[in-house]
């Protein structure tokens, strides 16, 4: 289930990509399939080990084109272990809402991104997220949980202040907002509630089968109750006189 829309966020074979806070690796895997040279980074060692296993399995199965590479590593988003201008593309999906120093993370991403490079940032959308917080304290008051809710203009302002030039936005996962509202209403750790189980089956069916009915429904719901807000930006080139 991808949050970044690669039709709006072009990726070329051979691009060096950083998936920052990669989690289970969904965007890193897609970039690898598209022929990129991928580095997936996360602070969770268990997830990194799993992502590396999947990278190896994908290579063995021939899922990645010749020339594509992929590695997963532990690291700190506030102190990235890479030189300046190391990456053509940076993706950070559903991570910034967890980190107190979000401006510091943006600064590090801009530092390692090449001039002319592209960045995709996704965070929970303000409206659906506010409902989750109102329904359940347990949804966000956990260690490592969500510490803020972004308004779209706030995130875009912070990206601009960090030196990026936003060029596009959209919302994603409209079918998923009602699921999380149900989870919050019945208990975030209560997977036995009938409405939660039934809706989860619907989501699994949608992800596995991609039926036209749910695909069209989600496209209609995304602008209204899409769970995620997605912003795309570039790092401008320095003027020639400033680069000397």
Backbone angles phi, psi at 3, to 5 degrees: -95, -40
Is the distance from CB of 65 to CB of 59 less than 8 angstroms? no
Distance CA 25, CA 27 (A): 6
The number of angstroms, rounded, from the C-alpha of 58 to the middle of its chain's C-alpha atoms is 21
Is the distance from CB of 146 to CB of 140 less than 8 angstroms? yes
User: pLDDT digit string (tens) for 151-167?
Assistant: 999 999 999 999 999 99
Token reading at 81 = 């272990």
Token reading at 230 = 């997605």
Mean pLDDT per segment of 10 residues, for the chain of length 244 residues?
96 97 97 98 97 98 96 97 98 97 98 98 98 95 90 98 98 97 95 96 95 96 98 87 49
Backbone angles phi, psi at 30, to 5 degrees: -65, -40
The predicted model scores a pTM of: 0.95
Dihedral sign, CA of 105, 108, 110, 113? negative
């Amino acid at each position: 289930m991808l949050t970044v829309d690669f039709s709006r966020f072009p990726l070329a074979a051979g691009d060096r990509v950083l998936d920052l806070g990669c989690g289970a690796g969904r965007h890193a895997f897609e970039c690898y399939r598209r022929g990129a040279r991928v580095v997936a980074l996360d602070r969770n060692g268990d997830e990194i080990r799993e992502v590396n296993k999947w990278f190896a399995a994908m290579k063995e199965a021939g899922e990645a084109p010749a020339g594509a590479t992929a590695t997963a590593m532990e690291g700190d988003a506030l102190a990235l272990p890479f030189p300046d201008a190391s990456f053509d593309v940076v993706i950070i999906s559903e991570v910034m809402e967890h980190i107190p120093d979000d401006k510091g993370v943006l600064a590090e991403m801009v530092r390692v991104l090449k001039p002319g490079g592209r960045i995709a940032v996704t965070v929970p959308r303000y409206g659906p997220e506010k409902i989750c917080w109102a329904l359940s304290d347990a949804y966000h008051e956990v260690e490592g949980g969500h510490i803020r809710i972004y308004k779209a203009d706030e995130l875009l302002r912070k990206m601009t202040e960090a030196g990026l030039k936003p060029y596009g936005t959209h919302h994603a996962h409209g079918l998923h907002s009602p699921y999380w509202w149900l989870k919050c209403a019945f208990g975030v750790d209560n997977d036995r509630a009938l409405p939660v189980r039934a809706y989860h089956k619907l989501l699994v069916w949608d992800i596995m089968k991609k039926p036209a009915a749910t695909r069209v429904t989600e496209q209609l719901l995304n602008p209204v109750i899409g769970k995620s807000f997605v912003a795309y930006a570039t790092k401008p080139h320095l003027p020639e006189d400033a680069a000397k």
